[in-house]
Amino acid sequence: MVLNFMNKKIFTYDTTLRDGTQGEEVSFSAEDKVKIAKRLDAFGIDYIEGGWPGSNPKDMEFFEKVRSVKFNHAKVAAFGSTRRAKNKVEDDANIKALLDAQTPVVTIFGKTWLLHVKEALQITEEENLKIISDSVLYLKKNGKEVVYDAEHFFDGYKSDKAYAIKTLDAAQRSGADVIVLCDTNGGTMPWEVSAIVDEIKKYISVQLGIHTHNDCELGVANALAAIQQGAVHVQGTINGYGERTGNANLCSIIPNLQIKMGLETVGMEQLKKLTDLSRYVSELANLKHKKNLAYVGESAFAHKGGVHVSAVMKTPKTYEHIQPEIVGNVRRVLVSDLSGRSNVLYKAAELGLSLDDKSPAAQKIVEELKEMEHYGYYFEDAEASFELLVKKHTGEIEKLFELDRFKISIHKDSNDTDARSEAMIKIRVGDETEMTAAEGNGPVNAMDKALRKALERFYPQLKEIQLTDYKVRVLDSQNATAAKVRVLIETKNGNSSWNTVGVSSDVVDASWKALVDSITYHLLKKKKG
């Protein structure tokens, strides 16, 4: 059921470039921040918080760079605190830095919780109210749109409701354009947020906003609860990046508001860019895009169970709450030991392979797939190996080369230099035999070099490809050094790449299997092309 809010506009405020960068492993250069700001603007975000200009040179550099950027929609905001207790507002270094940033919007936070007023600032209740009033009033006199973040609001409200309301009133009377209730510690429950916002809106005549954190895995739920009670301004970050366990994730909030609650945010057409935006920010943060993110994750519309796939093939909404294309994502069907015939048929069709539902090959593929996965294979990230498995059973594959034998030797001197590996390999191509050797900085690297060297006389197109990633996963660690391992190899040819997998109790043998699949896949593609 879509709730009826009469298409009310909800203003989106992105703080990825400031709050998001406080998350572990998240870091952006000033140039990265400009690029992200441009993408946020193109997506339709209303406010982009660029950073705290008084805190570090990188943020000041961003504000200098962003002045020359023409935004079509978004307003850029500089973030900082209210004036310090002992400073006059016009002499306060933080307030000066906010004005020097030359942004149309300034966001400042002030203290709501008496614990912070008395213990952290060590000032009186009245002095804190005066700080809030002075800061907002001065920024308004200097022509700024002012967003006031009531820090620790929900904790402050539960501690002393009357004083918490006084702090909001001080900001409102001084001209704040938006008052944002912040769940800074992320510990408030949705029903508490709902009840408190419903009460607070009686005292607020300007736009009311919400800023939540994810410490209880409730950042998105709390933001939606506040909006349901009347908040019209929502703050968050792309992918939920942020301090501790993160901020409320705008990539979940925005589609929930737009699709589920019938509220206007960026518009339905812009939602199609959401997945690309999410992945773009991950890429610039140099972080792997999380597969299990709602709406935008690679697994958000992935189906693994055979019963699920069979139903989805008939009617997608049986196991999908929305069409993935609405948010720019795609449906994926995974093949594994949980697969049925439906998974294999869907995946084969997706890869452009001809496979008859009633053919004996289809059932044989399912049976072998389950046996291989039981042994330790994993095809969800190795579609090239899966394609070769299908082609083996449909008779579309040919033996391009055969291994006669290979031998790996490792040499290490008595000094501290790294060990060197040497691989000797003998292969057969048709009626011809080739034997060669190569050195490498590890047994797999040496084997890879030797195999290519042996094959390139017959298949010169192998010079086009290169190994770009190599992962080893120990499958049964309780067996210690005798454990089986799974090797996943990524190979690239220009702009295209493919993954292959091999499993064995010997890491070199597992690598060999993945490597042979990789080379075979490339040669078959070239031959077909």
Residues 224-259: tens digit of each pLDDT: 999 999 999 999 999 999 999 999 999 999 999 999
Q: Given this model, what pLDDT does residue 195 score?
A: 97
Q: What tens digit of pLDDT does each residue of 388-438 get?
A: 888 888 777 788 899 999 999 988 776 667 788 899 999 999 999 999 999
Among 3, 59, 55, 17, smallest CA distance to 235 is for 17
The answer to whether the 11-266 and 402-528 domains have the same CATH topology is no
CB burial readout 42-56, b (16+ within 10 A) else e: ebbbbbbbbbbbbee
Residue 181, beta-bridge partner list: 150, 210
Cα 521 from Cα 502, distance rounded (Å)? 14
Among 321, 347, 322, 345, smallest CA distance to 334 is for 347
Cα 243 from Cα 268, distance rounded (Å)? 30
Domain ranges of the chain: 11-266, 302-392, 402-528
**pLDDT-flagged residues of the chain (< 70):** 1-7, 305-310, 313, 332-343, 347, 350-352, 380, 414-416, 476-482, 528-529
Q: Is the dihedral of CA 503, 505, 511, 512 positive or negative?
A: negative
DSSP secondary structure string for all residues of 304-355 = -SHHHHHHHHH-GGGS-SS-GGGGT---EE--STT--HHHHHHHHHHTT---
Among 428, 437, 380, 377, smallest CA distance to 409 is for 437
Q: Given this model, what pLDDT does residue 478 score?
A: 65
Among 77, 182, 78, 86, smallest CA distance to 131 is for 86
Q: Given this model, what pLDDT does residue 480 score?
A: 63
Q: Given this model, what pLDDT does residue 358 score?
A: 73
Give the DSSP H or E segment for 471. Answer: strand 466-474
**Alpha helices per DSSP H over 142-273:** 153-159, 161-173, 190-200, 219-228, 250-255, 268-271
Cα 369 from Cα 365, distance rounded (Å)? 6
Cα 120 from Cα 528, distance rounded (Å)? 71
Cα 180 from Cα 233, distance rounded (Å)? 8
Cα 489 from Cα 467, distance rounded (Å)? 7
Give the DSSP H or E segment for 372. Answer: helix 360-375
Which CATH number is associated with domain 11-266? 3.20.20.70
Q: Given this model, what pLDDT does residue 441 score?
A: 84
Query: Which DSSP symbol is given to 478?
Result: G
Q: Given this model, what pLDDT does residue 2 score?
A: 43
CATH architecture of the domain 402-528 equals 2-Layer Sandwich (3.30)
- Rounded to whole angstroms, what are the CA distances from 297 to 41, 48, 294, 300, 412? 22, 23, 6, 5, 45
Which residues lie closer than 8 Å to 247 by C-beta, 6 or more apart? 15, 19, 20, 211, 212, 213, 214, 219, 235, 236, 237, 240, 241
Q: Given this model, what pLDDT does residue 3 score?
A: 47
**Alpha helices per DSSP H over 378-506:** 383-394, 443-455
